Chains A and B, each alone.
Chain A
Amino acid sequence: MGRFSKFGNSLYTGERSIDFVGRRKIWYSIAAVVLLLSVLLPALRGGFHFGIEFRGGSEFRVSQAADQGTDLAISTIESVDAALNPIVTTVGAGDLRIQTEKLSDDASEVVRTALAKAYGVESADVSSSFIGASWGEEVTGKAIAGLLWFMALAAVLMALYFRTVKMSIAAMAALAHDLVATAGIYGALGFEVTPAAVIGFLTILGYSLYDTVVVFDKIRENTEEVEFSETATFKERVNLAINQTLVRSINTTIVAVLPVAAILFIGAYFLGAGTLKDISLALFIGMLVGTYSTIFIAAPLYSQLREGEKKFSKAATKVVAAR
């Protein structure tokens, strides 16, 4: 019998209870500070740093150089400007394709000459041109439209299942918090926003809502007919539901975060920048924030939205008076 399982027992019976709902002012203040920082810090850094997939960029092609490897191209570009972060691909029999963020004509010329020198080819064998965004406005527009539709449909689904719009409102508020906070941490650290990072954000969106629904389902069960209860108020029942699912929340989060943490560790320390790091960082932050917001924002907010309803407040007055 582990201590953790004893902890679960005591949470279940109510012997031990953490007052999540009652201390909501503290949680709301923390959320307000986090949201404020999420807007301020990226703004101070000059907004998000979007990758070339979103903004287009410059492309260089080196003829007959692939046998000298792609690492040379990366080190050459980085010796010109360490922030360029090039994507290098071999094309056809022996050509190299190097994509970087958009460079001015002068800067392109510098890179072109440097590449020709590094690979020992004629300057004419290195071509340069501009490329458009592969993830253009059209793709972004459709992704945002898809997201808004999903959130609207999810809100309707939850309202139908839980028989109250207020659960949808609380869940969507927590979801919005998660997205802003994750994006904020991302922006504050100045990481490049790549398609992989965006996919990471979408994964979080699904995960965060999933987590909220699991806890809300327990709240639904606990608050059924609570207006007829003579022993517990609505608020207490909501709090009990959070406590009863706390062991599950902790276990699930650890199990979900462990593989992501492993990717993040390997991605960041052994591979340097890249898709793996981008995606696992977004996921790592997002999953922790997603679990946090369910317990500290969604559930207390839901309680706040409903405990004032006449049938619940009446019953609560009676219960408290009887104690």
Chain B
Amino acid sequence: MSSNGLVKASRKRLINLFFVLIALVGVIAWAENTGRNASFAPQLALDLQGGTEIILAPSLADGAVLQEGQLEQAVEIIRQRVDATGVSESSIQTQGSGNNAAIVVSIPGTPDESTLKLIKASALLEFRPVLATSMATNSAVGGDGSSATPSAPPASAPIATSSAKPSSGSDLNWVSKEIQAEYDALICRSSADSLAADFREPGQVDDPAVPLVTCDREGVIKYILGPVEISGSRIEDASAAARTTNTGAVLNEWAVSLDFDADGTKEFAAVTKRLYPLTEPLNQFAVTIDGYVITAPSTNAVITSGQAEITGSFDQTSSKELADQLKYGSLPIGFEVQSQSNISATLGTSQLYNGLLAGLIGLILVVIYSLFQYRALALVTIGSLIVAAVLTYLVIAVLSWRQGYRLSLSGVAGLIVAIGVTADSFIVYFERVRDELREGRPLTSAVETGWLRARRTILVSDAVNLLAAGTLYVLTVGNVRGFAFTLGLTTLIDLAVVWLFTHPLLQLLAHTKFFSSGHKWSGFDVQSAAVYRGRGEFKVSALVSEGKAKKASGEAIRRQTLAERKAANATDQKEID
């Protein structure tokens, strides 16, 4: 590339960076002014800002006792669910023991209704065959769905035909007189404000081996369901997605897709095989969550793939919420919110301000040291660090809005350490350029060659950091996950700043007279002692003592590579010719 082209290309990069910064500012300002939960001030974590403490008490059936390990299991599941909402570094711990045991969840900020639901819903998912229903279904699994013609609802509830022991989950002999009476007495209420109809206790856990009389979530249809055929623990993965038609068009309907594990796949195949030949409503199976029917499609095919889709009055938020709950498993017991109160920051603002003050003092020291070391070049370092700081600040503001990222004191310390790693990229680069100058190149070409070599080093060392961040983010929970996020973020910003700011700026500066002449304040005045000029030529400064010079050129000869020696020999040959 011509030097003119280089200048143009580097100007273009700087302009691109400028646009990225403007775009970030614009996005945050737009989001803030349109009432979205965004702000130029990044959200702070529990330790710095405080938040909400929610005490969850187990709701147990009368006479039931807490099993060993159930509380710890619940803590683990709640932690994963909370982590799935973003990088907020919440604290979840047990409190007390025996009958007074509870789980204390501390989360930054004020939780909304859906967060609370996510935390406390036991999300016990079960598949039960339908024995009786008050309304026919119009949904189906397998086939194209068009064959599911709603039939007239049965005029009256079915009655057990005999008192014989039921032979399968779909056997109507499950419907005893008591169940029959319960079903007839049940009135489903459609309550607009809450999904909790009053016929169920909050946190009620049903016996999986007996039939269940219940309503759907909307409180419209009532059901008698057989014993549990497949439990939610057979779910390997769950995700939420918009439904699509056969032609691929996206519908405004949301569904939760389930992947069963090996056992679940077999069980699901067996159930669909048994239900498929039956008539309505016995060919329906119901998906229940915490005892409420979410959906009860009829079976139109035998499904052996181990994949199922739950549909029914979901929107984007509620389908994601359910998928997150299912993915991390159902809580072993139900919980009720015992108290919910604001808590103050554990560290107090003095720690944050002193931390920031310390960071500022550190930065000033870095600036002084760079000026001492790199003279005018230090301005590039300082400029780059300022760009990195602004970029980090803006990205954190965007992430605290989009990803629920919150800055903890450990996060602040991580960012301060990042100053070192970011500055190292410049130092590696500058030292490489100096090395190339020592080889006798003019500054413009030294910048290009130095960059090619430094680029490799910066890329591989940042790759190691990104690997650390990625691995830890995927595999860990809580604080460590928050740390991994910060590390990954600062590494990417380091790469962006070096590529879009430091390098193009240095390219431009290399064309100025001040720098290219090797002015003694430019930081690029490296010619002294022995200068290795490549191709076997050595310029030995007259200033150094003879012995020293001899030693130096000897070392330089030792450092010649094979290619250089060959080239040197070739030059000698030419001269002889």
The interface of chain A, by Cβ under 8 A from chain B, is 1-2, 4-6, 8-10, 12-15, 17, 56, 59, 70, 87-93, 95, 97, 129-136, 138-139, 142-143, 145-147, 149-150, 153-154, 157-158, 161, 195-196, 198-200, 202-203, 205-207, 209-210, 213-214, 217-218, 221, 224-225, 228-232, 236-237, 240, 244-245, 247-248, 251-252, 254-263, 265-267, 270-271, 274-276, 279-280, 283, 287
Contacts and interface: CB of A to CB of B under 8 A. Distances in A.
Contacts, number: 311
A270 B351 CA distance: 10
B3 interface: no
A56 to B, nearest CB: 8
B92 interface: yes
Interface of B is mostly: helix
Given A214-B428, A228-B562, A260-B417, A255 B369 contact: yes
A231 B525 CA distance: 29
Contacts of B428: 214, 248, 252
B267 interface: no
A217 B363 CA distance: 28
Contact of B472 (A87, A150, A161, A225): A150
B464 A146 contact: no
A222 B559 CA distance: 9
Going nearest first, the 9 A-B pairs with the smallest beta carbon separation are: A256-B420, A259-B362, A14-B555, A92-B341, A132-B94, A146-B475, A262-B362, A231-B558, A15-B552
Contacts of B520: 1
A286 B71 CA distance: 37
B50 interface: yes
Interface string B412-449: 01101101110110011001001100100000000000
B354 A14 contact: no
A150 B467 contact: yes
A203 B487 CA distance: 8
B47 to A, nearest CB: 7
B354 A270 contact: yes
A93 B525 CA distance: 65
B351 A142 contact: no
Interface stretch (B30-38, B453-461, B496-504): B453-461
Contacts of B525: 1, 5
B562 A214 contact: no
B467 A157 contact: yes
A265 B434 contact: no
Q: Is the interface of A mostly helix, strand, loop or mixed?
A: helix
Contacts of B468: 150, 154, 205-206, 209
A213 B468 CA distance: 13
Contacts of A287: 417, 420
B27 interface: no
Contacts of A143: 472, 476, 480
A9 B434 CA distance: 9
A319 to B, nearest CB: 8
A15 B529 CA distance: 8
Given A12-B435, A255-B369, A255-B419, A91 B480 contact: no
Given A256-B417, A259-B362, A266-B358, A271 B555 contact: no
Given A149-B471, A232-B558, A217 B410 contact: no
Contacts of A15: 529-530, 544, 548, 551-552, 555
A141 to B, nearest CB: 10
Interface stretch (B96-104, B146-154, B212-220): B96-104
Interface in B72-120: 72, 75-76, 79, 91-97, 100, 104
A2 B372 contact: yes
B480 A139 contact: yes
A240 B558 CA distance: 11
A229 B94 contact: no
Contact of A262 (B91, B359, B410, B565): B359
Contacts of B420: 207, 252, 255-257, 259-260, 287
A146 B423 contact: no
Contact of A252 (B341, B427, B478, B530): B427
Residue of A56, A202, A240 contacting most chain B CB atoms (<10 Å): A202
